[in-house]
Structure 1
Amino acid sequence: DRCRVTILHFNDVYNIEERPNTEPVGGAARFATAMGKYRDQNPLVFFSGDCLNPSMMSSITKGKQMVPILNSLKVKAAVYGNHDFDFGVDELEDVTMETKFPWLMSNVIDTLTDKPLADGLEKTVITWGTKKIGLIGLVEEEWLVTLATVDKDDLKYLDYVEEGRRLAKELKEEGVDLVIALTHMRWPNDVRLAEQVEEIDLILGGHDHDYDVKKVNGKYIVKSGTEFRNFTKVEVDFIGPKYEISTMKIEVTSAYREDVEMKKIVEEFTSLMSDKTATTLGRIESELDGRFATVRTQESALGNFLTDVMVAATQADLAILNSGTLRSDSVHSAGDFTIKDLLTILPLIDPLVVLEATGTQIIQALENGVSQYPKTEGRFPQVSGIMFGFDPEGPPGSRVDPNSVKVDGEYLVPEKVYRVCTKAYIARGKDGYDVFKDCKPLTDPDEGPILSTVIQNHFTAVDIVKGLKPCRSGHHQSLIHVASVAK
């Protein structure tokens, strides 16, 4: 009656290359070698979400590099993470159809299909040796509002405690020996799940990137780090109807050699990046001036375009983007707009956040943005949903005319609260935007869409609306009005 089941767990992986000179170096090739050490134990490999974005490579491949990597690691089941939806439901379903394991989504229903979102499974059972392992996939409501490619009104969210309890009971009634919840949510929610659902035996979580293991209400909650730098070996020793669980942290250091086959996969996609930069995302009807002398001193068509997309993607009232974000320092001609153009303009991974800010705080932010004019400083604001005027001869901090400021065509009300979309960098008070540190965040920067990704999704949505690209799921990013791109 004695039996041991070995589980290898990881979560939140974005870059398949290692990070040199910083231990643990990680990287998919060394990760494969580290996991391979336990191949003789016939392990079950589980993944707790977030792999398709964000990374520079994913901005070109839309996460497709992860298919052969996850398949090679012999993953047996996974739960969706928020960033797996970054390129849209159709793209996600295309990718997951190529994986050799099921993806779970137990507590979010797509009301357009009346099925779990992205065709996920509600639950699954794996027979491993003499034991039956039941799995469910649970996510938190907080990150659903950050999905730029899915309208929250098209989703039905079910409380993870209630659904977790219901599904775990069903699995127990079906005779499983162990119920595992694969989750993608923050620690407090995993703790609540452990405290309130007795029927779940083990929680393997994601979303948090720091490695940690806690025992709550007699059951383990495991978070296995990030970026192929860590994973957890979980041993479940069955003794008759009972079991004991132990965990071990594995760090993927440079001491592990690179797996030859996995290294070939990494090199193939690294090479593909240079070939794919010429791919056309869409067409632009007028030139986009990204020269520093333009975007750091005045309104620009490029700034208007980017911030208009930010507003549409996040359903904010307005957007404020520091012009230092735009890095091309060149004019992009009308015509085909390529991945190379996008990455030249936006080379960094810039998460977007939505803040609550009063009219007074917004004016303070604008004052900071124009305080260094006419210097070509990166704090100069590119905006959408708001118009304002400023006196360049006025003293810094008193240049914006409050009577000139309008949001969506209406004069700004100092005490009114507005939804402001900006970069996480600016929300932390960088580039002189100290006022934003006092604003209530409505979204978490770890959960929010990536600026370069929402620009790609804009072009995809245009093709869908024009009938140039099919949309099986019915979901796509909200569009800006074409006339608002160039003002």
Structure 2
Amino acid sequence: MSSTTTLHIAHFNDVYRVGLQKLSSHSLDTIDVTQFAAGLQDIRERWSGDGLVLFSGDVFSPSVESSVTRGSHMVPVMNFLAPDVALTGNHDLDFGYPHLTELIKDCAFPWLLSNIIDTETSKIPLALKEFHVVERAGIRIGVIGLVEKEWITTVASWPPNFVYKDMKATGMELSRYLRDPNGEYRCDFIIALTHCRVPNDVAIAKELFALSPSAQKDKSIAPLHGVDIVLGGHDHMYYISAGVTSWDGYDTKKIPLGAEQDHGDILVVKSGTDFRDLSDFTVTLESTPEGSVRKRVIKEIKGRRVITRPGSSSSAALTKILEALLSSVSESLKARSFAAAGNWFADIIRHAYDDCDALRSSGGSDAVLICAGTLRGDSEYGPGNISLGDILEILPFDDPLVVIEIDGDGIWDAIESGLSTWPAQEGRFPVISGMRVTWDSRKEPGNRVTGIWLLKEETTTTDDDSNDGQSGGYSTPRMVDSEPISRIKGDKEYKIVTREYMAQGHDGFTALKGRKYLVDDESGQPMSTIDHNMSTDLLDQFNILQLKTSVITPRGQSDGKRLIENTIPLQRNPRR
């Protein structure tokens, strides 16, 4: 006769900001990590010691504070939150692997990275673990950590001796090792922490038979190796697969982009971002027949989405820790304020280097190509005042902007790479200025771009529509097509502003690598510095500034014919 056991789990991922953060530009309401900590503590107190807290990666970067502390300020915060196990995320390597090992030494909990091998030792990288085994509620639980291959290209300082190992192969191998009835660990249950985009989480859940209770009625997983549930990070979104029994505060019938293959047959939990969300759930485990590979399987899973609310109670102890950690950092980030819009950044940096020697004689740069992952913050900014702290929060990366020469074939390849992972919400999605791109998302990756044009500025004068009749109108620049960029190798060269990170070929932008530099990394400046200086100068000159941004225009997925074009006005608030 089978028996059941109840296991309590809390999960979170991708957390960056420890200070006050606004949830909306339309409200002054704020939250911070101390409220998240209080909520987690309340959950723990209900467990009576039998719960498990798990973290799926990305904590040391990027943030405003980490640009100063290199992530060290997050160690006391995470030690206070005290996860039982953590997975390494791609941004945890932003300051390099050697620095990550120093941060991990100060952490009071283990860090996993199961499917990355150091070829110099043939083992998991030093300071990280292949797996971790804990006992809760009388059962042995193995926790493994799997990362997708795609994000390795986003790590600027990826060690050349680190190689990727297939997630499925690693999961199966560790299942055999950890579940071995004659082995050291004899685990009853295995959890996979992942740092992947949604499509890869859905796929690995299927490949490792992390099947829902309803799916198990049609396919018994008791004799099969694999994992029992996937707890993911990397996407800054809250997603619970449709196979859970029930989940308060989340509609599992709404399938997000990338999860189209979720047919209610898998168990995947992804818990939002930035201390805004927390997953609190309970799994009921049922024993299997003697001799089964899996000693326990999930009979039922019920959970709830815990949202950090403005005005909720906070942790006084963590507040005290933060005051000591961040007082000097916060003061250094206060500066004069101005109004702008997030998608104005690419337009601003287009002319950042026009006066330098390499570009002055040729009329400046032709266009900008950066990627959406450059813009962080996960918040709404404006209309209203935006501080230097906000700019650093949106643009926390410190690699410089550079200018390269590249032919039309290279531009097409770079844009194709940026669009190749759609509908996965990858950071490589292109952000452009000075170009117009049309593309068809229904086509196969690598063949989605249908046209690229350089743009030129056309200025029109608008009649004064004010009541005082004194301003005499104002000029409104707009961008119109100038010339097509042909996909011809070795033809005309274009001067493109981009990030040094991308020019090195990271995040899939291999087409940008090896190009001639007109402004190199030693001469370039960080994007946050350029945007702050130039936007301040521009906004001081105009009361009203309206720009038509460069648009990446997908074909309408409904009828395949209509081109959707977005014109985004950028307007400075009137002086008061």
Task: Return the alpha-carbon distance in structure 2 between the equivalents of residues 44 and 418 of structure 1.
Answer: 41
The Cα shift of 1:245 comes to: 2.3
Please point out which of 58, 70, 73 is paired with 2:78.
Answer: 70
Which of 296, 310, 321 aligns to 1:254? It is 310
Shift of 1:121: 0.8
Cα offset, 1:123, TM superposition: 1.0
In 2, the alpha carbon distance for the partners of 1:164 and 1:272 equals 44
Residues 7 and 123 (structure 1), Cα distance of their counterparts in 2 relative to 1, 3 Å cut: same
Of 237, 251, 258 in structure 2, the residue corresponding to residue 210 of structure 1 is 237
Compute the displacement of 1:299 (Å).
2.1
Residue deviations 1:154-198, cap 9 Å, x none? 222111011111112221113212100000001111111111113
Structure 2 residue corresponding to 1:201, chosen from 228, 231, 241: 228
Task: Measure how far apart 1:64 and its partner are.
Answer: 1.3
The one of 38, 53, 59 equivalent to 1:33 is 38
Normalising by the residue count of structure 2, what TM-score does the alignment of the two structures yield?
A: 0.53
- 1:473 maps to none
SS at match of 1:75: coil
- 2:236 is equivalent to residue 190 of structure 1: no
Task: Indicate yes or no: 2:245 matched with 1:245.
Answer: no
Say whether the 8 Å CA contact 2:368–2:433 is kept in structure 1.
no
Looking at structure 2, the residues matched to 225 and 154 of structure 1 have their Cα atoms a distance apart, in angstroms, of: 32
Equivalent of 1:99 in 103, 107, 110: 107
What SS does the aligned partner of 1:195 have? helix
- Relative to structure 1, the CA distance from residue 249 to residue 345 in structure 2 (aligned partners, 3 Å threshold; closer, same or farther) is closer
CA distance in 1, matches of 2:43, 2:354: 58
On the 8 A contact 2:117/2:123 being kept in 1, the answer is yes
1:25-62 CA-to-partner distances (Å, cap 9, x unmatched) read 54210001111112220221100001111111111111
Cα distance in 2 for residues equivalent to 1:420 and 1:436: 22
Instruction: Kindly indicate whether residue 355 of structure 2 is the aligned counterpart of residue 298 of structure 1.
Output: yes
Deviation at 1:431, TM superposition (A): 7.3
Counterpart contact for 1:201–1:219, Cα < 8 Å = no
Measured in 1, the distance between the counterparts of 2:30 and 2:390 equals 27
The structure in which a higher percent of residues are helix is 1
Deviation at 1:3, TM superposition (A): 3.4
Kept in 1: contact 2:167–2:204 (CA 8 A): yes
Matching residue within 136, 159, 172 for 2:166: 159
The structure that has the greater radius of gyration is: 2
Deviation track 1:447-471 (CA, whole Å, cap 9, x = no partner) reads xxxxxxxxxxxxxxxxxxxxxxxxx
Cα separation, 2, equivalents of 1:107 and 1:150: 15
Contact 1:25 1:229 (C-alpha < 8 Å) held by counterparts? no
Counterpart of 1:420? 512
Residues 404 and 170 from structure 1, CA distance in 2 versus in 1: closer, same or farther, beyond 3 angstroms?
Answer: closer
Instruction: Tell me the amino acid that sits aligned with residue 320 of structure 2.
Output: K
1:114 aligns with 2:122: yes
Q: Aligned pair 1:359/2:408, yes or no?
A: yes
Tell me what 1:335 maps to. Answer: none
Q: Deviations 1:422-454 (Å, cap 9, x if unpaired)?
A: 989x9xxx975447989xxxxxxxxxxxxxxxx
Residues 437, 155 of structure 1: alpha-carbon distance in 2 compared, 3 angstrom cutoff: farther
The alignment of Structure 1 onto Structure 2 pairs a total of residues equal to 357
Q: Are residues 61 and 162 of structure 1, via their aligned partners in 2, closer, same or farther at CA, if it must alter by over 3 Å?
A: same
Encode CA deviations 1:67-94: one digit per residue, 9 max, x unaligned.
1111111210011111110010111111
Amino acid across the alignment from 1:38:
I
Q: CA deviation at 1:112?
A: 3.5
Structure 2 residue identity aligned to 1:34 = G
Q: Residue 366 and residue 118 in structure 1: after superposition, are their counterparts in 2 closer, same or farther (change >3 A)? A: farther
Identity %: 31
Contact residue 407 and residue 492 of structure 2 kept, 8 A? no
> Are residue 220 (structure 1) and residue 267 (structure 2) matched?
yes
- Map of 2:574 onto structure 1: none
Contact 1:361 1:435 in 2 (8 A): no
Query: Which of 1, 6, 9 is the matching residue for 1:7?
Result: 9
Q: Report how far residue 66 of structure 1 moved.
A: 1.4
Task: Judge conservation of contact 2:408–2:492 (CA < 8 Å) in 1.
Answer: no
Whether 2:138 is the aligned partner of 1:139: answer: no
Do 2:143 and 2:191's aligned partners in 1 also have CA atoms closer than 8 Å? yes
Report the alpha carbon displacement of residue 296 of structure 1 after superposing the two structures with TM.
5.6
Deviation at 1:406, TM superposition (A): 7.6
Name the counterpart of 1:179. 190
Which residues of structure 1 form unaligned runs of 5+?
278-290, 304-317, 326-341, 375-394, 409-416, 439-487
SS of 1:209's partner is coil
Q: Deviation at 1:270?
A: 2.7
Q: 1:228 to 1:396 in 2, by over 3 A?
A: closer
Looking at structure 1, the residues matched to 353 and 359 of structure 2 have their Cα atoms a distance apart, in angstroms, of 12
Cα separation, partners in 2 of 1:359 and 1:271, compared to 1, 3 Å: same
Change (3 A) 1:250 1:61: same
Q: Conserved in 2, the CA contact under 8 Å of 1:365 and 1:436?
A: no
User: Match for residue 18 of structure 1?
Assistant: 20
Which residue matches 2:277?
230
Are the equivalent residues in 1 in contact too, given 2:67–2:396 (CA < 8 A)?
no
Q: Would you say the 8 A contact 1:320–1:420 is kept in 2?
A: no
Letter in 1 for 2:237: D
1:276 Cα deviation after fit: 7.2
**Equivalent position to 1:349, from 376, 392, 395:** 395
Cα deviation for residue 142 of structure 1 reads 0.2
Once the two structures are superposed, what CA deviation does each residue of 1:316-365 show, in whole Å capped at 9, x if it has no partner? xx98679xx9xxxxxxxxxxxxxxxx99996741679999x852785997
CA distance in 2, matches of 1:360, 1:431: 26
Question: In 2, Cα distance between the equivalents of 1:101 and 1:347?
Answer: 28
Q: Which has the higher contact order (CA 8 A, sep 6+)?
A: 1
Among candidates 72, 79, 87, match of residue 95 of structure 2: 87
